[in-house]
Amino acid sequence: DAGVTQSPTHLIKTRGQQVTLRCSPKSGHDTVSWYQQALGQGPQFIFQYYEEEERQRGNFPDRFSGHQFPNYSSELNVNALLLGDSALYLCASSLHRTLGTDTQYFGPGTRLTVL
C-alpha cells in the first residue's frame, strides 16, 4: 500500500519563474492538503482540495494555486517566485468526513530553493 508520494524531491528555480509540484495521496484517500515549511518553523497550511475543488485556504497570496484531478492526485503551482518561497512543500492526504476529522498523512516533501 503506497503512502503519499511527491515529486520532484528537490527543485531549484530563480526569482520570477513558475513551479509545479505534484502529489499522489495514500490509497483510499480523497482529500489533499498542501503546507509550506520554512527552515526552522512549523508547516503552514496553504490550501486543501476535495472533489477537485479548493475547499479551504490559508493566508497565502494568489500566486499560489492548485488543482486536484479525478484520481485525487494534486498539483501546487507557484507563480512569480520570490526568494521567500524557498521552503519544504508538504502534501498531506486524508479521507473526507462530514463529521469529525481524519488523520493526515504527509508525503516526503519537495524542497524548493529560489535563487
Partner 1 sequence: RKEVEQDPGPFNVPEGATVAFNCTYSNSASQSFFWYRQDCRKEPKLLMSVYSSGNEDGRFTAQLNRASQYISLLIRDSKLSDSATYLCVVNNNAGNMLTFGGGTRLMVKP
Binding stretches for partner 1 (CB under 8 A): 31, 33, 35, 40-45, 48, 55-56, 58, 90, 92, 94, 96-97, 99-109, 111
Question: Of all helices (H) and strands (E), which one includes residue 4?
Answer: none
Residue with Cβ nearer partner 1 (75 or 108): 108
Residue with Cβ nearer partner 1 (15 or 48): 48
Residues 6 or more apart from 44 whose CB is under 8 A from it? 35, 36, 37, 38, 58, 59, 60
Residue with Cβ nearer partner 1 (28 or 97): 97
> Shortest distance, CB of residue 49 to partner 1, whole angstroms?
12
> Shortest distance, CB of residue 43 to partner 1, whole angstroms?
5
Please work out, in degrees rounded to the nearest 5, the angle formed at the alpha carbon of residue 18 by the alpha carbons of 48 and 77: 10
> Shortest distance, CB of residue 19 to partner 1, whole angstroms?
19
CA dist 31 → 13, 60, 99, 101, 102 (Å): 28, 19, 14, 11, 10
Residue with Cβ nearer partner 1 (45 or 75): 45
> Shortest distance, CB of residue 62 to partner 1, whole angstroms?
19
Residues 6 or more apart from 40 whose CB is under 8 A from it? none
